[in-house]
DNA sequence: GGAATTAGTGTAAAGTTTACACTACCTGCT
DNA sequence: AGCAGGTAGTGTAAACTTTACACTAATTCC
């Protein structure tokens, strides 16, 4: 550190977009800011990265302090560093998103956690700092992720019905899926274990419960498998340009 | 800045993985370090982000100083911030990758550019700092990108043959593609304009030259189209687990 | 004129995706 | 007991996409 001293004047933070799924709706955990700047506004949970701490460690710490959860899905998404994004100086933030089961979430005693609340992703529209932009980037990443791997298992309780799983996918993809085709696709992956149990206390035919075969999932990931879910085209009727080859 | 002063002691940089394509091989532009640390080793081009500069601006600046090129494909990939990654202090780096046409690249007068050299991506194995890890992350991103959009056009000269295009895809994907299927797929996208010209000075049947229809490409991107290129399975014979549904 | 070399082309079979509608099973009400 | 209301669960045929595969065409060089 000599001629470069002038560059060592910035700070960096992590911000964590924590997704959960409840009541058929995709949610995000937000903190109500108790102080300026943006006092009273909702913001993503985040904090400065300590000098002795790796980025991933910082993201896990923020998540743990807030939810008490460890070993959850956590992924770095993008870094935001516009010059004026933070009023107190040059602050770059690294955005992460994580997927948790809301049923496993317990309010933590930390003061920050008391100000936390789940919000429907689709209804969030105004956040502190550039946090709306960060949320959008993470939501888009989740949409992409859900098309290439069966990521929903991170968000559902240990036992779930196929309809719940489908609703989760529909919430993330913001589209409707065909029930029969969805089931065929999901079951053909052999990642579900049929528990031979059914729902109780519902006023209609109870659905079978499934759990997720974690062992096969690990294999799936290791082999770089991927699958595709396409939206039901029942209602769309997009002009499907056939784009045929201009061959002789 | 008051109680947070202790956090404003880090620096951040951008590192740019600049890909080019030449002689049937995917290349990356590296700088030979003239000073400690890692003196004599090859490194990714990068520099500190100025206090008054956005991240993307810094990445463009680094690219411009080195190659004289602007308006090229540039994308943020990932941020690396391990505690000990830089000997002179806490330095976080934001990795970008760009795609350029080597034929358009002119050596710049800047001192840094004189130390630059193209290396085959497949042969790079030891770089300064954590730059190998950064290169790998960017290469993986490129692999992903090339499967979802016809990104190769950024790397080829304005006129090219279908075989050149195929070789580019093969270099990026590190696999072989079937000639007829590749051509069918590419031509069916209608993104190529047949120039009604042929190669000259080759000792075999000359190939037709094509250029890229930029207007249609913009439309393609805007409509969120995507396409898939799958490797030729001629040689592999992967045990294709049929994974059929366990339905009644 | 023939050897060498790469360009260029079509098709049938296998596999995947799509659209679509009815019966089954449970509760709660009368 | 039976019916209404509600969600669960299932199969198939048609359209489309992907795959595997081999010969002829055009040029240069000798």
What does the pLDDT average to over A125-146?
A: 96
What is the pLDDT of chain B when averaged over all its residues? Answer: 88
Tokens of A210: 């499934």
Highest-confidence range of A87-91, A147-151, A243-247, by mean pLDDT? Answer: A87-91
CB contact under 8 A, A79 and B76: yes
Provide the pLDDT for residue A31: 97
DSSP assigned state of B162: H
Whether A11 and B12 lie within 8 Å, measured CB to CB? no
The spacing between the Cα labelled CA in A181 and the C1' in C19, in angstroms, equals 10
For B5-26, what is each residue's pLDDT tens digit?
A: 888 889 999 999 999 999 899 9
Whole-Å CA distances, A171 to A19, A33, A166, A167, A242: 12, 28, 9, 6, 30
Of B233, B184, B118, nearest to A248 by C-alpha is: B184
Taking residues A19-37, report their average pLDDT. Answer: 94
Distance (Å, whole) CA A112 – CA A43 = 12
Q: Which of B41, B95, B45 is nearest to B67 (CA)?
A: B45
SS3 content of chain A, % helix, strand, coil (to 5): 30, 25, 45
Please report, to the nearest 10 degrees, the dihedral formed by the alpha carbons of residues B2, B6, B7, B11 taken in order: 120
Q: Residue B51 CA to chain centroid, in angstroms?
A: 27
CA dihedral B149, B152, B154, B160 (to 10 degrees): -130
When computed from its CA atoms, the radius of gyration of chain A, rounded to whole angstroms, is 21
pLDDT for residue B43: 98
What percentage of chain B has pLDDT greater than the value 70?
A: 90
pLDDT recorded at residue B241: 28
Average pLDDT over residues A84-98: 95
Question: CA of B4 to nearest chain A CA: how many angstroms apart?
Answer: 9
Distances (CA, A) of A206 to A145, A168, A209, A212, B20: 30, 19, 9, 19, 58
pLDDT of A232 reads 65
Q: In the structure encoding, which two tokens stand for residue A240, read together?
A: 């499907």
What's the average model confidence in pLDDT over B189-196?
A: 95
Instruction: Decide which of B238 and B183 is more confident.
Output: B183
Give residue A233's pLDDT: 55
DSSP B85-151: SSTTS-EEEEEEEEE--GGG----SSHHHHTEEEEEGGG----STTHHHHHHHHHHHHHHHHHHS-G
| B186 reaches A (C-beta below 8 A) | no
Which residues in chain B are closer than 8 Å to A96, comparing Cβ atoms? none
pLDDT recorded at residue B159 = 96
| DSSP label of A68 | -
- Residue A206 (CA) to nucleotide C28 (C1'), in angstroms, measures 15
Angle between helices B162-173 and B131-148 (to 10 degrees): 130
Distance CA A103, CA A29 (A): 14
pTM, two decimals, is 0.91
Q: Residues, chain A, total?
A: 248
The residue of chain B with its CA nearest to that of A186 is B245
Of the candidates A51, A82, A246, the beta carbon closest to that of B187 is on: A246
Element (H, E) at A96: strand A91-99
For tokens 């339905």, the residue is B247
Q: Is A84 on the interface with B (CB under 8 A)?
A: no
pLDDT at A21 over 80: yes
pLDDT tops 80 at residue B49: yes
Render pLDDT for B92-139 as a digit per residue (tens, 0 to 9).
999 999 999 998 887 777 878 889 999 999 999 999 999 999 999 999
Q: Give me the pLDDT at residue B102, please.
A: 92
What is the band of A245 on the pLDDT scale with cuts at 50, 70, 90? very low
**pLDDT tens, residue by residue, A212-232:** 999 998 888 887 666 777 766
Chain A: nearest CA to B159, how far in angstroms? 19
Rounded to whole angstroms, the distance from the CA of residue B246 to the C1' of nucleotide D6 is: 27
Task: Map out the domains of chain B with their CATH numbers.
Answer: 11-146 (3.90.79.10), 158-247 (1.10.10.10)
């Amino acid at each position: 550190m000599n001629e470069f001293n002038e560059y060592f004047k910035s700070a960096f933070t992590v911000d964590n977009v924590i997704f959960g799924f409840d009541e058929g709706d995709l949610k995000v955990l937000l903190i109500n800011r108790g102080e300026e700047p943006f006092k009273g506004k909702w913001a993503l949970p985040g904090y400065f990265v300590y000098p002795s701490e790796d980025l991933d460690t910082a993201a896990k710490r923020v998540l743990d302090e807030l939810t008490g959860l460890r070993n959850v899905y956590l992924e770095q998404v993008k870094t935001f560093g516009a010059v004026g994004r933070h009023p107190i100086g040059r602050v770059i933030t690294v955005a992460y998103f994580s997927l948790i089961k809301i049923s496993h979430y317990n309010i933590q005693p930390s003061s920050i956690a008391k100000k936390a609340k789940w919000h429907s992703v689709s209804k969030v529209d105004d956040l502190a700092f550039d946090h709306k932009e960060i949320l959008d980037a993470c939501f888009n990443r989740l949409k992409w992720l859900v098309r290439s791997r069966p990521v929903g298992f991170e968000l559902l309780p240990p036992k779930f019905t196929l309809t719940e799983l489908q609703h989760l996918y529909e919430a993330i993809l913001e589209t409707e899926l065909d029930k029969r085709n969805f089931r065929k696709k999901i079951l053909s992956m052999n990642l579900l274990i049929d528990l031979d149990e059914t729902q109780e206390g519902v006023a209609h035919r109870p659905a079978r419960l499934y759990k997720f075969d974690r062992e096969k999932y690990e294999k799936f990931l290791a082999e770089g498998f991927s699958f595709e879910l396409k939206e039901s085209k029942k209602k769309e009727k997009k002009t499907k340009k056939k784009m045929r080859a201009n061959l002789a």
